[in-house]
Amino acid sequence: MSPISVFSWIVFVVILVSAAYVFVALGQLPGKTARARNHPQADAIETASWLGLLLTLGVVWVVAMVWARSTPVSGRFGTEDPDLDELKARVAALESAAQRQEAAGE
């Protein structure tokens, strides 16, 4: 084997390893983005990104990336809003105060 053949094989292997690394990095990107933004559906986004890369040649991957960057509406997707708990406590306090006033006034 000539030195140029050895060099070409080394370059070929480096290109294959680099392509595999880029593929894995792209597959993980929407999931990592969703987790960094505390998205409640991060697992589904990660699954969609991998399936999008493997089965649809990247079409669904784009959808997963947009989904990962979206901000869910508060109170949806099974999450509780901390402000909602505070408001519920305040309403309960006001209702009990109104009941006490009604009882004292009667």
What's the pLDDT score for residue 7? 95
In the chain, where are the structural domains located? 1-72, 75-106
The mean pLDDT of 83-101, rounded to a whole number, is 86
Residue 79 has pLDDT above 60, yes or no: no
What's the pLDDT score for residue 80? 62
What's the pLDDT score for residue 38? 86
Rounded Cα gap, residues 19 and 13, in angstroms:
10
Q: Tell me the pLDDT tens digit for each residue of 29-59.
A: 999 999 888 888 889 999 989 988 888 887 8
